[in-house]
Amino acid sequence: MRNDFNRRRADLFSAGWNGKYDSGAWGFEADVSYSKADRHDDLIESYSGTGFCWPGCDTSTVADAASNPGVADTINAVRDNGGFFRLATALDYTDVSQFLLTDPLGWGQGNDLVQAGFINSPETVDELLHLRASVDRDLDSFVSNVEVGVDYSMREKTRNIDQQFLTLPGSGVSLAGGAVRTAPIPEEALIGDGRNCGLTFLGVQGQVCYDPFFLLDNGFYVPQFVSLSSFSTAQDWTVNEDIFQAWVRAEIDTHFIFPLTGNIGAQIVHTDQSSIGFRIPTGVTVTDDLENIGEMIRDGDKYTDILPSLNLIWEVSDTTFLRLGASRTLARARMDQLNASLSLGVDANNIGSDQPGNVEGQDFFVFSATGGNPRLRPYIADQVDLSVEHYFGGAGYIAVAGFFKDLDDFVNSFDVFAFDFSAFIDSELTPTQAAQLNSAIGPFSSPSNNGSGTIKGFEVSLSLPGTLLGDDSFFAPFGIITSTSFTDSKVTLTFTPPLDPDLPTVDPVRIPIPGLSKWVVNSTVYYENRGFEARISHRFRSDFLAEVSAISATRTLRNAQSESIFDAQIGYTFGGESIVGGVRVTFQGLNLTDEPFVTFNEPGAIIDHQSFGRTYLIGLSKTF
């Protein structure tokens, strides 16, 4: 049984200045901004059970005679039509006297400890400095204005990973040395009467519930560094980005069959990215001074991109417009994917049988690692958009748009390639082991730019104000705004080929773009009359591939269920010249139907079900 608790503290600061100056046909603008976010998370897991045991819980076959799996339970599971499993238990999970703080399935066996809990405590500091300056000049020609500018941004993100096993106090850490295996749940840690935490959506009406942070803060848990084990996780890192941009843009105002406006331009973007990573070597023991152990890794890259763009608007008539856009854009990889940290694995049992190859042969490797890629390039998209807009009745319009994006350098987060670990031989192997080593080549799991794909689709938007039926009609204060979009996205992730051509390659994988649904529908019905306003909005999105949090504060991909969310708002703006004139009061309700976020393996096989509840907001503002 688990009791988990997440808490977060965040400090935010931002400041900025913007200045403009116009002198006749000349215009000048400058912008300076700075922001910093400092966030600390504590994500704690606490384990309890009716007894302690090694995996399998068969005391007749385990070497540790102190294993005592405690009272067993018989659980019957039935899956309902919604994909949920309903559990029927024989054991009373609200009985505090039956449950102990312990390692109920022997998760700490490989590290010779009683793993009664685990805590992730990442601290993230993110700083961003931005400087921008531009000058423009009005012209009396088909090019109505020209603007040139420069831009500099500096971003630094630091993440310190503090991950610890939680053991029980007394008799040391080592199981072999007689570490404490079980401890009662202290009454002071219970939340309420200790029986109020239920899993009703699974059919479990109640369970023992307590505050894991009380246990940690009051000595009922003893933290042990995760680096003392072979647990593979990213280590501390810092990523820096210095981005220099220069651009030129010409505004177009001419006539080509129809009146034609728009702009054409280009950006030159130079990026200098670097990362400092940190790794703790294998073989660290409990007696080592972790503050003085560690190896720094530095890496990075410099590159330049040219990004042209074109936007044209033809005024076919006073109420009909044709828009065309074409450009090359870039989107940067996540900062954590750029980190230089390396989590090293060493299996000395493979010495003598190791051989270069790819992931299929990794069981024969002595060295392996996971980490980021400081040389990762941005996503690149070459895109074309075409739309037709028609306006009618003053505020009514209909628009139809189509789009196509060709994606290159798409980040493959799951690539595995051969890496030369020669630099780690002396620190990780004995002289005898090093002499027997056949190869220092091993698999390194790291993101790459080995992905490409396309995004294409269309969108239809419609606005129907009630005034179309007459300014004095009953429906005049009402209106409808709706849009529907279809997006077909495909990306092919390819994998780095093995060094040995005789070994099989990893087949490419095709997935949709994470976060994009095929169908999205947004609709709003509103009423506005004499200062009073009311509206209800609905958003639907079909199933999509979601990127969610995984074990040890990492990220993973899962299929997410479709969503249908309703929001509503009412408000009133006081008129007149009294003291309340210009005062606006609003009341909002968000996610009124408490739509859950659900992920699944396959339709009907639910992995995760999260309800975020409804949100209610009251707003007060005054216009002077």
The domain total for the chain is 2
Lowest mean pLDDT across 345-349, 385-389, 405-409, 551-555: 551-555
What average pLDDT does range 533-562 have in this prediction?
89
Residue 58 scores a pLDDT above 60:
no
The whole domain housing 105 covers 1-7+41-122+161-231
The length of the chain, given as a count of residues: 624
Pairwise CA distance, residues 6 & 10, whole Å: 13
- Looking at every residue in the chain, the average pLDDT score rounds to 87
Worst-scoring range by mean pLDDT, 28-42, 341-355, 433-447, 463-477? 341-355
Task: Answer with the residue of higher pLDDT: 282 or 312.
Answer: 312
DSSP state of 291: G
Q: What is the pLDDT of residue 288?
A: 42
Query: What is residue 184's predicted lDDT score, i.e. its pLDDT?
Result: 94
The structure tokens listed for 576 are 């007149």
From residue 23, how far is each of 5, 20, 149, 162, 395 by CA, in Å?
59, 10, 17, 56, 36
The predicted structure's pLDDT at residue 284: 44
Q: What is the pLDDT of residue 262?
A: 96
Residue 343 pLDDT exceeds 60: yes
Averaged pLDDT, 316-329: 96
- Which alpha helices (H) appear in 247-364, and where do they start and end? none
Per-residue model confidence (pLDDT) at position 248? 98
| Tokens at 10, concatenated | 């965040």
Residue 501 belongs to a domain: no
Instruction: For residue 414, tell me if it sits in a domain.
Output: no
Which of 1-10, 198-207, 409-418, 533-542 is least confident? 198-207
Q: Stretch 407-435: mean pLDDT, rounded?
A: 87
Q: How far apart are alpha carbons 191 and 204 in whole angstroms?
A: 18
The position carrying tokens 């410099």 is: 302
Is 598 part of a structural domain of the chain?
Answer: yes
Residue 331: inside a domain: no
- pLDDT mean over 174-180: 81
pLDDT at residue number 499: 60
Instruction: Using the 3D structure, point to which of 172, 206, 231 is the last residue of a domain.
Output: 231
Identify the residue with better confidence: 10 or 428: 10
Residue-level pLDDT at 529:
94
Which residue would you say has higher pLDDT here, 181 or 363?
A: 181
Residue 311, CA distances (Å) to 262, 266, 325, 448, 587 in order: 5, 12, 4, 32, 39
Confidence grade of residue 548 (pLDDT, cut at 50, 70, 90): confident
Rounded average pLDDT over 256-261: 93
Instruction: Tell me whether residue 313 is in a domain.
Output: no
Q: How far apart are CA 116 and CA 3, in angstroms?
A: 11
Average pLDDT over residues 462-486: 94
User: For the ranges 237-251, 457-471, 495-509, which has the lowest average pLDDT?
Assistant: 495-509
Res. 150 pLDDT band, cuts 50 70 90:
very high
In degrees and rounded to multiples of 5, residue 30 shows phi and psi of -135, 150
Q: What is the mean pLDDT of residues 309-337?
A: 96
Q: How does residue 422 score in pLDDT terms, banded at 50, 70 and 90? A: confident
* Secondary structure element (H or E) that encloses residue 432, with its range: helix 431-436
User: Which of 3-17, 70-84, 490-504, 587-601 is the least confident region?
Assistant: 490-504
Residue 362 lies in a domain: no
CA dihedral (202, 207, 211, 212) positive or negative: negative
180, 205, 231 — which closes off a domain?
231
Of 404 and 65, the structure prediction assigns the larger pLDDT to 404
Whether the pLDDT of residue 316 is over 90: the answer is yes
Q: Given 231, 246, 263, which residue is the final one in a domain?
A: 231
Place 171 in a pLDDT band, splitting at 50, 70 and 90. Answer: confident
pLDDT of residue 61: 47
Which strands, in side-by-side order, build the sheet including 367-371?
342-346, 367-371, 441-445, 416-420
| Mean predicted confidence (pLDDT) in 425-448 | 86
Which of 215-219, 297-301, 314-318 shows the lowest mean pLDDT across its residues? 297-301
Provide the pLDDT for residue 57.
Answer: 58
Given a cut of 70, is residue 501 above it in pLDDT?
no
> Between these two residues, 76 and 569, which has the higher pLDDT value?
569
Lowest mean pLDDT among 348-352, 475-479, 577-581: 348-352
Domain assignment of residue 305, yes or no? no
Contact 116, 164 (CB under 8 A): no
Does the pLDDT of residue 283 top 60, yes or no? Answer: no
Instruction: Tell me which residue has tokens 């009716």.
Output: 50
Q: Select the more confidently predicted residue: 198 or 64.
A: 198
Region 181-198: mean pLDDT is: 84
Give the tens place of pLDDT for each residue, 13-33. Answer: 999 999 999 999 999 999 999
pLDDT of 498 over the 80 cut? no
Which three-class secondary structure string do you get for 155-221?
EEEEEECCEEEEECCCCCCCCCCCCCCEEECCHHHECCCCCCCCEHHHCECCCCCECHHHHHHCCCC
AA letter at 112: D
Report if residue 578 sits inside a domain: yes
- Spell 537-571 as b/e; 16+ CB within 10 A means b: bbbebbbbbbeeeeebbeeeebbbbebeebbebeb
pLDDT confidence bin for 624, thresholds 50/70/90: confident
Q: 513, 512, 508, 514: which is closest to 493 by C-alpha?
A: 508
Residue 580: the pLDDT is: 85
Give the residue with greater pLDDT, 441 vs 35: 35
Tokens of 606: 């639910």
**Residue 99, SS3 per DSSP:** coil
Report the C-alpha gap between 355 and 418 in whole angstroms. 11
Confidence band for 101, pLDDT divided at 50, 70 and 90? very high
Q: In the predicted model, is pLDDT for residue 60 greater than 80? A: no
- Predicted local distance difference test score (pLDDT) of residue 230: 44
According to the model, what pLDDT value does residue 440 have?
A: 84
